[in-house]
Amino acid sequence: MKIDADTFLGAIQALGDLLEEAGAEPQHLVVAGGSALLAQGLISRTTRDVDILAIVDPKDELQDPRPLSESLKLAAAQVAAELQLDPDWLNTGPADQVSAGLPEGFFSRLTKKEFGPVLTIYLPARFDLIHLKLFAVVDQGQGRHSHDLKILAPTDEELLAASRWVLTQDASEVFPGLVHNTLKALGYGHLVARL
């Protein structure tokens, strides 16, 4: 079953309820990708999963979420069965980004949403989602990421900031050319000279 905005909210609320019933430790999860866009009403398309980018530790620092806690895995499996979601609907696909580096000020721009006393979800700001989506387009090519980026309708300055950050994500000699070509393909070729 594909996840739309209502399904996302229902699944996360069910997850919070199950964690509370199980007496689980509090979970503080940073959600990225299409589900973060859906949760904030920025897109209307469906997505297959909920990407956990990071956890927020007691010191308000972002940490790699892997491995997910056993209580979270068990609750996620139960939600998957009840709502007929993909067994891997809650995953840590983008977790490498924490060690690779996030846009400066990322944490300060997160929006916090509580789903009961045990589950807190943090959603990246539109500005940061533009950064992450541009990197996804450069890394994975045209498709849903470029579609999402167009819907986010970044200004030249936002896309310039995102491009400068994306350039820090790969030290290979060919990477700047990939970023430049991506900007051109997206209709922002005029920004290349400003990078």
The pLDDT of residue 141: 86
Confidence of residue 187 (pLDDT cuts 50, 70, 90): very high
| Mean pLDDT across the chain | 96
**pLDDT tens digits along 118-157:** 999 999 999 999 999 999 999 998 888 999 999 999 999 9
pLDDT at residue 101 tops 90: yes
Could you tell me the pTM of the whole model? 0.94
Cα distance between residue 15 and residue 121, in whole Å: 11
Is the per-residue pLDDT at 63 higher than 90?
yes
Domain-wise residue ranges, the chain:
5-124, 127-194
Count CB atoms within 10 A of the CB of residue 104.
Answer: 11
Quickly state the pLDDT bin for 82 (edges 50, 70, 90): very high
Q: Cα separation of 1 and 39, whole Å?
A: 17
Angle made by CA atoms 106, 41, 4, in degrees to the nearest 5: 110
